[in-house]
């Protein structure tokens, strides 16, 4: 029997390289044929390198007829498009009875279709990338184990970061863009960050976020810092953590990043809500000066230092100079640019990965719990380094769980129907096992229970 099962992958963006590679490697044994559909057929072609078990097609998802025909023809569908494009694909998958896998957050619109998906016996697995994805699975595995032993959760903290690998880390910020730069520039904006510490709700406004970081240690990789996400309470229901005293989710950076980034926040350079006059002809120096007082007898440098109280021998200052923000000759060249867009331009000059650079994913969970009257704490972490600029750590950690889940749904190993996220044993056990086999594995250690207490108390 020569029939190959058709896996339709919609969207051939940066995160699909490892996903496609994994499925192609299994394509003979598992009898798979991949259809890679992207608006640009060249992008799709580049990823399959003429492999006999794959076909690249030009697919504009707004071409309804083609979209429906392609989905109807597939055995299972993976959508790697941005979440906002999913809903039409979801409806087609229901119509033609195809299961679906995505790495995106479940929208309310999608959740409303849960009953229909269940009635058709389909599995729509979402949030199965890195964050969300590996974070769900690795956290729930430990949480379930603690609960199975009769333990009661007291604390859950979870941190993730996309960074540059130590061997490619050659700037003062210890940071490069390994994902969408825009998301990094506007990160944390909007309502205050909200979390729970020892039973107390805490709120941090955006302009204070980068001064309220926490210090983290990961064996073998040293010190990191984390700033709180806006959504620390997001999975309280899904993880059943209603009685937990501390609930905190954060984003990881190298120590010192946030303190320096805070300068941009204080100046107003990360604002994306208005455009600057004549932004196209501004120099980097003009841009910086537009947020400072008019004081014609002082230099831009002096004004900035005195405004934000920066010592001239502070390493912070070297970080700012490294980015060339005082350069009077470099022009922005962006029409009607917002401060955030112009800052992104400045940063991309310096923080774009070089050809040989590798990225790094860091994830750390802390679980505090009570078992037989005793308080205990487990820390679980993973560090993943990219292979190269194609199979980056980001592409691997986002794409591999998607690929593994897809094959397991296709093979009937994951069967619970409906709109799902990977928080049940049926899903996370086999996927985490396979991820560990291919090098994405968590290290656990027991530490003394501290509750929320970033530093020891010394009296």
Q: Which residues bind a second copy (CB under 8 A)?
A: 190-192, 194, 197-198, 200-208, 212, 266-268, 271, 273-274, 276-278, 289-294, 296-297, 339, 452, 457
Q: How far is the CB of 161 from a second copy (least distance, A)?
A: 22
Q: How far is the CB of 434 from a second copy (least distance, A)?
A: 39
| Closer Cβ to a second copy, 176 or 230, answer by number | 230
| Closer Cβ to a second copy, 8 or 276, answer by number | 276
Put the strands of the sheet holding 418-420 in their side by side order: 54-58, 32-38, 5-10, 76-79, 99-102, 123-125, 418-420
| Closer Cβ to a second copy, 212 or 335, answer by number | 212
Q: How far is the CB of 388 from a second copy (least distance, A)?
A: 40
Q: How far is the CB of 243 from a second copy (least distance, A)?
A: 15
| Closer Cβ to a second copy, 277 or 446, answer by number | 277
- Tell me, letter by letter, the H, E, C secondary structure of 400-412: HHHHHHHHHHHCC
| Closer Cβ to a second copy, 184 or 342, answer by number | 342
Q: How far is the CB of 379 from a second copy (least distance, A)?
A: 19
Give the Cα separation of 444 and 436 in Å (integer).
13
| Closer Cβ to a second copy, 66 or 233, answer by number | 233
Contact partners, residue 122, CB within 8 Å, separation at least 6: 93, 94, 97, 98, 99, 100, 417
Classify residue 156 as exposed, middle or buried by CB count within 10 Å of its CB (0-12, 13-18, 19+). buried
Give the Cα separation of 426 and 237 in Å (integer).
19
Q: How far is the CB of 234 from a second copy (least distance, A)?
A: 14
| Closer Cβ to a second copy, 180 or 306, answer by number | 306
Give the Cα separation of 181 and 447 in Å (integer).
36
| Closer Cβ to a second copy, 194 or 376, answer by number | 194
Which residues make beta-bridge pairs with 10?
Answer: 37, 79
Give the Cα separation of 291 and 268 in Å (integer).
7
**3-state DSSP call for residue 312?**
coil
Phi and psi (nearest 5°) for 155? -150, 135
Q: How far is the CB of 448 from a second copy (least distance, A)?
A: 18
Contact partners, residue 37, CB within 8 Å, separation at least 6: 8, 9, 10, 11, 12, 44, 56, 57, 58, 59, 70
Q: How far is the CB of 181 from a second copy (least distance, A)?
A: 21
Contact partners, residue 177, CB within 8 Å, separation at least 6: 184, 347, 348, 351, 352, 353
- Asked if residues 62 and 31 have their Cβ atoms less than 8 Å apart, the reply is no
| Closer Cβ to a second copy, 91 or 202, answer by number | 202
Q: Shortest CA distance to 375 belongs to which of 444, 454, 450, 452?
A: 450
Q: How far is the CB of 375 from a second copy (least distance, A)?
A: 16
């Amino acid at each position: 029997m020569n029939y190959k099962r058709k896996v339709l992958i919609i969207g051939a963006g940066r995160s699909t390289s490892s996903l496609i590679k994994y499925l192609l490697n299994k394509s003979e044994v598992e009898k798979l044929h991949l259809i890679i559909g992207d608006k640009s057929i060249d992008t799709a072609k580049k990823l399959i390198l003429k492999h006999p078990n794959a076909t690249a097609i030009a697919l504009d998802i707004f071409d309804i007829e083609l979209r429906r025909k392609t989905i109807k023809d597939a055995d299972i569908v993976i959508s790697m498009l941005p979440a906002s494009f999913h809903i039409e694909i979801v409806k087609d998958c229901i119509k033609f009875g195809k299961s679906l896998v995505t790495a995106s957050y479940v929208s309310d619109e999608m959740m409303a279709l849960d009953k229909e998906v269940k009635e058709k016996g389909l599995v729509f697995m979402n949030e199965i990338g890195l964050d969300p994805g590996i974070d769900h699975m690795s956290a729930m595995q430990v949480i379930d184990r603690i609960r199975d032993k009769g333990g009661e959760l007291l604390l859950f903290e979870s941190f993730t970061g996309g960074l540059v690998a130590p061997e490619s880390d050659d700037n003062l910020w210890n940071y490069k863009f390994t994902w969408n730069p825009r998301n990094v520039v506007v990160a944390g904006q909007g309502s205050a960050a909200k979390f729970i510490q020892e039973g107390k709700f805490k709120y941090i406004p955006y302009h204070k976020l980068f001064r309220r970081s926490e210090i983290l240690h990961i064996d073998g990789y040293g010190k990191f810092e984390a700033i709180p996400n806006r959504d620390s309470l997001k999975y309280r229901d899904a993880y059943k953590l209603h009685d937990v005293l501390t609930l905190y989710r954060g984003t990881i950076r190298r120590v010192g990043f946030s303190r320096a980034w805070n300068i941009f926040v204080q100046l107003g350079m990360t604002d994306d809500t208005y455009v600057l006059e004549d932004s196209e002809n501004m120099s980097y120096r003009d841009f910086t000066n537009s947020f400072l007082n008019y004081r014609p007898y002082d230099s831009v440098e002096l004004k900035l230092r005195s405004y934000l109280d920066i010592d001239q021998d502070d390493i912070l200052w070297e970080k700012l100079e490294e980015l060339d923000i005082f350069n009077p000759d470099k022009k922005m060249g962006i029409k009607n640019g917002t401060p955030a867009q112009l800052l992104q331009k400045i940063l991309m000059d310096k923080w774009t990965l070089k050809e040989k650079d590798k990225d790094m994913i860091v994830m750390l969970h802390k679980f505090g719990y009570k078992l037989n009257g005793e308080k205990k704490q487990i820390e679980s972490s993973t560090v993943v380094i990219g292979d190269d600029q194609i199979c980056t750590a980001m592409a691997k950690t986002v794409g591999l769980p998607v690929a593994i889940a897809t094959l397991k749904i296709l093979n009937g190993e994951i069967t619970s129907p409906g709109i799902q996220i990977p928080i049940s044993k049926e899903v996370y056990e086999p996927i985490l096992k396979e991820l560990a086999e291919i090098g994405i594995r968590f290290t656990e250690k027991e530490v003394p229970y501290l509750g929320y207490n970033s530093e020891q108390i010394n009296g």
